[in-house]
A and B are shown apart, each in its own frame.
Chain A
């Protein structure tokens, strides 16, 4: 009998995809939101089921339409992709719980149906990228995700017209990234005659020294690098995050760039294989300096920002630097740190953007100058923000500490002068994080609020999801068996497996 659970791999992508056009037909303030939230919750449920089944009985392969790979499209769920599915759908659902009241401030009521349609499509794209085992199918989902995200970002124009130029610039740069990726995949197809990731991986060793493959590797790494806002390709990110509606920023900060990282890990470790990537291609020499530059310069830039949303956006680029550094160390512990930080940063940063969204909901601005004394006006929200900030700094008991710990261990394992100086640079970067979080704390607690305003907290529908993320981040900072456990096993699998 064809049980429903055997169809989960296709359902996790097809459910939000099919839901999207239906959502476009819905009208009113509540209906599109409720429909989207239920859909997202369904994908969350399916993702958890998939992760459990992968954890207990190994990777799942699903043939689309009954066509056997490598001819047909294959969906593959291994531990890492299952982990990504849970992360993406979980964050999406959490953010949606927050969205009902929050989004009404930023998007016109008649556009809500379309807004949530685009949201569902972006979710589809991210889930699809994580689950598909086909390099061209990745491109399709990448475009679904990107196109819908351009629309989502542009919807911030009611608050600030600059959202339009931000979205447009993202469109140009993002398209270049996608095109590079497609060129790379095309070159690989030319040389191997296959698009199935496992099949490519099997055929590559025979031809790996050839020029088209080398060029393909370059195009793919750069293409994905643009999508994940790798320094110095990050120009699109600060503006997009700053001017997008708050829930879009919260959703993307946790997931969109992380999907890019996932793709990079997939190509480096599964398609090219670590020996080829770090041996012949010498990716360490490229990614390591970029990662280090990312967390040093972008943290420094964040210190000087006057808009907290923008500050957090730059901090996101910096945090990407940590993940890239972890990958570039080319060791199991480095990869563990990278995968771990994907999860940990996602939960911390989403919590931060959500608490910032609470402030925006009440005050109507995220500029530091408008938030003076916010700690007295909105004590619960601000306290949540500060706790989230601790996570960014890496204070013990927060997930940020766990990630940094593993990153430091990985750097020390590398030994030599490079490893030790990396540790020193990581410490400096933590100090920079203290500074940029401190700027917010200083304005929030040590400036007096303007006389005219009264104390007013954000509504419960915003506060509760925010605090779920904040408390959740502490949960995963203390009880680390879920995130650390999966990251370790997934890293071992990627290093040993393909």
Chain B
């Protein structure tokens, strides 16, 4: 293999072969690419490669250090899982776009300079939108278009930031940037759009649920986590990220209460989980960054697992609406088990991956003296427990049996879910294996004070939630309203407030959006009325008119010269 080839390019180049293959050869190809890439990453070891001069800028195509290596490794594993899950799909465009998308995300992770980063950054945007459009519905087309506009905007903002940064410092190396200049602010904004900061987050819930069954699984793993990596690289220890992350954890929970589409529920909870990672980056200590990396790893596993389960349900039952599902455990027992594993992992039960990684971030927060984050994280635990831990599996697989009788998920989907479930549990039981890959030497002592405190806190909530689950079983749920009543029980003090805050935010957001929409619409109208086909500027004027214009300009220019 070429020395120092950016591992992302393996997938991108491999993607070019996809249209030429079919059947079993294509299956082997798409499964082999992530494996080759991960082997390539670890064969290369640490270092930098691919130094080129370009327009007087020094590029560094490949940089492998511990931080980029763990993200690259996670991405390759997630890519493999996604490909196993999608191997039955016959749609060339989807495989092609998915591989380009994954390849560019991995490429961006290993980019040593910001021009390379920008190139891959834009490529992830352009390629991933095809996974949304592949649903081939009008809704998906529109959502994809909005998604593309936002993603490309992020790229444009990033480019602006890079140019200013280059003007300021004369360097384009992709290292710590910080917030000391406008350039840093622009770059943070670009990263923030991609990592779905509060008020910049809508594209996640808008676009992800519209993608294809397999597309959502793949989408959910890469774009936002790439942004988290970029944040960890460029803005570790930036204080503003801590309140942003806190808001990120809380806000989606407010919206999710009312949501009926379960894939959208998961998209909201994904957004909330990202908040943990943003907080980790914001704290910026070694433990926090380790925790962030670990949480990314674990999060990709359980979130993919949950999306895969919902995807399998959508694939078989044709819907993931709360109001149309129920009692599927009889038909899809294996999927049910996997979904439960994902649910307990996202809810951070002990002996699951989520427990380990969340504990690390929470301990880091505590060590950093950020006590105020505690109530936030506790509230979030309750919220996550509710919507991802209970709502998703309960309404899908248990709840009222609506007589849906379908087959179990296809075998390749089950294998993919199995891999994810294996990691969810495996990391929980043997966290040491994950620790070895982390960017900093693992200083995390499982028996430190911080860990014990967080473990107790988490256990308290898990036990509480578990009891609630038992109560669900005591009341065998004929009606949805019962569940909502029960929501009232443990969230009432906060729910009203949260809803009020949510409404206020929604109002301000809608108002701003409305005004912005009006402005954009009127600009488009004016342009269409003047530049549209056959309108003033696009009309072929008569020759005499053209000459008149020419003479008038000539007159003006000559007078101008005389002056």
Interface residues of A (CB under 8 A from B): 169, 172-173, 176, 180, 211, 214-215, 217-219, 221-222, 226, 232-233, 235-236, 238-239, 281-282, 285-286, 297, 300-301, 303-306, 314, 395-397, 402, 405-406, 408, 412, 423, 427, 431, 434, 446, 480, 484
Contact = CB atoms under 8 A, between A and B. Distances in A.
Interface string B534-561: 0101101101011101100110011011
Main secondary structure on B side of the interface with A: helix
Given A233-B549, A306-B533, A396-B118, 20 more contacts: A169-B540, A173-B547, A176-B550, A214-B558, A222-B553, A226-B550, A232-B549, A235-B541, A235-B546, A239-B540, A282-B560, A304-B538, A305-B533, A305-B538, A396-B119, A396-B122, A412-B167, A427-B156, A431-B156, A484-B55
B532 interface: yes
Nearest to A232: B549
A395 B122 contact: yes
29 contacts: A169-B543, A169-B546, A172-B547, A173-B543, A173-B547, A173-B550, A176-B550, A211-B562, A214-B561, A215-B558, A215-B561, A222-B550, A222-B553, A222-B554, A233-B553, A300-B537, A304-B531, A304-B532, A305-B538, A396-B122, A402-B55, A412-B163, A412-B167, A423-B160, A423-B163, A427-B156, A431-B156, A480-B54, A480-B55
Nearest to A395: B122
A475 B561 CA distance: 43
B141 interface: yes
Nearest to A169: B543
Nearest to B93: A445
Contacts of B283: none
Contact of B550 (A233, A285, A297, A434): A233
Contacts of A395: 122
B113 to A, nearest CB: 12
B561 A397 contact: no
Interface in B260-316: none
B62 to A, nearest CB: 17
The 10 closest A-B pairs by CB, nearest first: A218-B558, A300-B531, A214-B561, A235-B546, A301-B538, A396-B119, A304-B533, A304-B532, A301-B531, A172-B543
B467 interface: no
Contacts of B560: 282, 285-286
Nearest to B534: A304
B21 to A, nearest CB: 15
Contacts of A446: 133, 141
A232 B55 contact: no
A418 B527 CA distance: 23
Contacts of B434: none
Contacts of B141: 446
A211 B535 CA distance: 40
Contacts of B528: 304
B115 interface: yes
A55 to B, nearest CB: 21
Interface string B132-148: 01000000010000000
A305 B554 CA distance: 30
Q: Chain A binding site: helix, strand, loop or mixed by DSSP?
A: helix
A278 B550 CA distance: 22
B152 interface: yes
A490 to B, nearest CB: 17
Interface of B: 54-55, 115, 118-119, 122, 133, 141, 152, 156, 160, 163, 167, 527-528, 531-533, 535, 537-538, 540-541, 543, 545-547, 549-550, 553-554, 557-558, 560-562
A226 B546 CA distance: 10
A83 to B, nearest CB: 19
A218 B554 contact: yes
A172 B119 CA distance: 46
Contacts of A222: 550, 553-554, 557
Contacts of A219: 554, 558
A211 B554 CA distance: 15
A222 B167 CA distance: 37
A480 B52 CA distance: 13
A423 to B, nearest CB: 8
A290 to B, nearest CB: 9
B58 to A, nearest CB: 15
Give the one of A396, A405, A434 with max B CB within 10 A.
A396
Contacts of B553: 222, 232-233
Contacts of A396: 115, 118-119, 122
Contacts of A484: 55
A303 B549 contact: no
A35 B290 CA distance: 71
Contacts of B562: 211, 214
Contacts of A423: 160, 163
B546 A173 contact: yes
B531 A297 contact: yes
A300 B561 contact: no
A281 B559 CA distance: 11
Nearest to A412: B167
Among A180, A304, A423, A431, residue most surrounded by chain B Cβ atoms (within 10 Å): A304
A281 B561 contact: yes
B163 A408 contact: yes
A340 B562 CA distance: 33
Contact of A233 (B119, B152, B546): B546
B531 A303 contact: yes
A236 to B, nearest CB: 7
A336 B330 CA distance: 71
A406 B57 CA distance: 13
A3 to B, nearest CB: 39
Nearest to B527: A300
A396 B115 CA distance: 9
B561 A405 contact: no
A211 B559 CA distance: 10
Contacts of B533: 304-306
Contacts of B540: 169, 235, 238-239
Nearest to A298: B537
A387 to B, nearest CB: 13
Contact of A286 (B122, B535, B543, B557): B557
Nearest to A406: B55
Contact of B554 (A180, A214, A239, A402): A180
Nearest to B119: A396
A427 B162 CA distance: 14
Nearest to B561: A214
Contacts of A405: 55
Contacts of A314: 538
Identify the interface centre among B55, B160, B531: most chain A CB within 10 Å of its CB.
B531
Contact of B546 (A217, A236, A303): A236
A444 B267 CA distance: 32
Contacts of B156: 427, 431
Contacts of B119: 396-397
A221 B557 contact: yes
Contacts of B133: 446
A353 to B, nearest CB: 20
Nearest to A297: B537
Contacts of A233: 546, 549-550, 553
Nearest to B557: A218
Contacts of B160: 423, 427
